[in-house]
Each structure stands twice: as structure tokens, then as C-alpha cells.
Chain A
């Protein structure tokens, strides 16, 4: 894993997601860190996916302003799982990259809506609608991130394909 490249990617996405976009108050912020975890895990496998997921999770917890380490744990686990799927089932192409992102974004949305759903009894269909809207927005942002993440993971990706 190229620590510098991955570190820069994490830092840039954290600044965008956690520090810049929330000030615009547009109603929805794309979960760029989540997209990055899915992408890196998808291209680089479970080991790197888990490590990258852990750091992205810490930043995700910071960006949503929660001291709990929920996303640190969840993104580590998801990084490992998606990485393992990338090593075994997935073809490591654009479609499977988008599918990995979709799965991660839905799980993230469910975690975030958990308290609203079970403790504040917000309308379920409304929550699902919002979750899908945020997921679609993040997936749209996942498209331009695809070549960047693929390029960062390029060598390892090729090596893994050869093996």
C-alpha cells in the first residue's frame, strides 16, 4: 500500500466531506470517505481494505461529529469484507465497483438512520427515501472517483490480476 498516496486521498476526501461541503447546507452531503473505502477495498483486497477502512472510519466519525467509534469499526469490517469479495467473487470492474459502493452506502445510511428509526419513530418510508437519495448522490460522486482510486490502486490491482 502506498501510504502517501492513500493518505493524501483520505485527507482530501475528509476535507471535502467533513469541512467544506457541510457549510453549503445543500441538504445532502455525499459520503466520499465511504466511496473511497469501497473503492480501495475493491481494488486492493481485504488486508489493505481493512486498514484503509479503519483510518477512513476514524475520519468519518470525526466528520459526523460523533466521538463514538462506530464507523471506525464498521468501515474496517466492510473494508475487509468488500476486499475479500474483490479477491474472490468480483471482477474488479466498474460495475462491481459501483455495486460495492452501493452496499457500503446502504449499510452506512442504515447505521445513521438507526436512532431515528427506532428511538424517534420517524416515518420509515421517508427515511428510506432519504437514504436512497443520499446513496444516489454519493454514487454519482463515485463515478469521477473511479479512475483516481483505480490509478492509486493500479499496481496492486495488476499484480493481483496476474496472480
Chain B
């Protein structure tokens, strides 16, 4: 206490009294916060703002950290849901396509109640440059398919014929394969002819019409149907359409080119007629 009443202590005391008097006078003037407080506020305001901003950032960071796990979990859940929805959409599309094929087949089968069908998928094409054969995913173990059965599309267009049967797959000659041959009828020409694969036409995706009595009556666009003769193919299956009539390479006679009705490039799902003509 004794020390306080030195020169320095007296100065501090005087300054405090002066500040108190000034504050008191200022308060009397209507400024309720007081000049000192106000001055202090003004001085500290930027600092307060800075601290507030830092606090806000920290709060946000904390919020992010706090929500991260929840958001991550929610994101994974949503991703799974989207993947599930996509998978469902793909399956629906697949089912829709299958439904369409089966509807087509049903329409075709309504007119051919004696046909017994087995559905199959083309799993590979031969890599040989000299033939146009393909393999389907049905064999003796999982179907009634036998060699010589006809392979068609859902709308009854000829795709080929079964050549060899293994336990789980079959090798089929496509309609343009050089070994393929079928007895046919043209819609406006009497008498039968033979549609057969030709190596020269195979590269163009065509087959030839041969052994016909009179090509003068054959016109481009004529429909070629199976005649049913020979017992391999049932009658009335669509083989293709006449595209062009050309002279034979030997120079003697003419032959017609047939464009297959079945789209071999995009043929993935086919049907095999395992039996026909046994309607009771």
C-alpha cells in the first residue's frame, strides 16, 4: 500500500479518475455504452470478426468431419440403389426383347401348331474363311436337337441347319454356307427349285437359286419359301428374296441370287424346329 502512493501510483490513479469522469460525463450525454467501451469495441471489432470467421470455418470443418462418415455411407447406399436400378433396367430390357421374340414365335407357331421348337443362342461363328457355320448353346444333353433340324428366327426365317450335335452345343451350317441346300418354291413361279449356298456368294452374304425350270418368270423381289420336299425343312419357311439374275460363271445358263430374309449379322437368338408334321 505504501508503495502504491509513490509518484507512479499517483499518476495511474489520476488517469483512472480522469477516465472515469470522462465516461461519466459521456454517459450523461446519452451514449449508454460509454466512450471507453465504444473505443475498445471499435478497436477490437476487426479482431472479433476474424475470430468469428475462424470459428465459423472451424465449425464447418467440424461439421464436414462429423458428416463425412454419414455422407459416405449414404453415398454408398445411393450408389448401390442406382446400380440396382440400372441392373433392373437392363434385365427389363432383356425380358422385353425376349418377350418380343416369344410373341413373334407365338404368332408364327399359331399357324404351325405341329412344330416343336427349342430356343437357343448363337455362341460363336466359325473362324474358317471357307464356310459360314455357327455354334449354338444347345446340345444332346440339354435339348432334343438332332442333326438335320432346321434353325429359324422367331418369325420363321431360315437361318441354317444343324450339322453336328455335341453334348452341350451344336454346329450349324448357316443359310449361306456352301454345304447348305434346300428345296424351295417361288411365290409366282410354278415348280420347285433349289436354293443353295455358294462359296462365291457367301462373301456377299447371299445364296443362289438353281435348278429352276424357267428363270424368265422370276423377278427381283420374289419371295423364296421352303417347299417341304425332302423332309428336312417344313413347308412355308421364308428363305429370302430374289435380288439379281446373273449368267453362270461357266457361261451356260443363268442363276438367281437370293438375299436371305434372316439377318445373319445380328442373329443371336434362334429357334430349332426339333419336330414337325406330327399333328394329332
Contact = CB atoms under 8 A, between A and B. Distances in A.
Interface string B130-146: 11011100000000000
Interface string A76-109: 0000000000000000000000000000000001
B124 A22 contact: yes
B128 interface: yes
Given A25-B265, A122-B178, A126-B199, A64 B126 contact: yes
Contact of B203 (A27, A63, A65, A120): A27
Interface in B101-157: 124-131, 133-135
Nearest to A134: B129
A3 B121 CA distance: 34
Nearest to A60: B127
A67 interface: yes
Interface bracket on A = 20 to 34
Per DSSP, chain B at the interface is: loop
Contact of A22 (B126, B178, B179): B126
A63 B133 CA distance: 11
A23 B267 CA distance: 11
B265 to A, nearest CB: 6
Contacts of B171: 65-67
A22 B127 contact: yes
Given A25-B265, A122-B178, A126-B199, A65 B126 contact: yes
B166 A65 contact: no
Contacts of A126: 199-200, 249
A120 B178 contact: yes
Contacts of A122: 178, 198-200
Interface in B33-68: none
A37 B166 CA distance: 27
B164 interface: yes
Interface string A115-131: 11000101100110010
A130 B126 contact: no
Given A120-B178, A123-B249, A65 B200 contact: no
B204 to A, nearest CB: 9
Interface in B154-171: 164, 166, 171
A109 B199 CA distance: 14
Given A116-B178, A123-B249, A63 B127 contact: yes
A120 B125 contact: no
A66 B109 CA distance: 32
A27 B127 CA distance: 10
Given A127-B199, A130-B129, A65 B135 contact: yes
Interface in B192-239: 198-200, 203
B68 to A, nearest CB: 44
A67 to B, nearest CB: 6
A116 B130 contact: yes
A123 B251 CA distance: 13
B174 to A, nearest CB: 11
Nearest to B170: A65
B128 A67 contact: no
Contact of B124 (A19, A67, A113, A120): A19
Interface of B: 124-131, 133-135, 164, 166, 171, 178-179, 198-200, 203, 249, 265
8 pairs of A and B residues whose beta carbons are closest in the complex = A22-B125, A64-B128, A65-B126, A112-B130, A63-B127, A122-B199, A29-B127, A65-B171
Interface of A: 17-19, 21-23, 25, 27-29, 31, 63-67, 109, 112-113, 115-116, 120, 122-123, 126-127, 130, 134
14 contacts: A21-B127, A22-B125, A23-B125, A25-B265, A29-B128, A67-B171, A109-B129, A113-B130, A115-B179, A116-B178, A120-B199, A123-B200, A126-B249, A130-B130
Given A27-B129, A31-B127, A64-B128, 6 more contacts: A25-B125, A27-B203, A64-B127, A65-B128, A122-B200, A126-B200
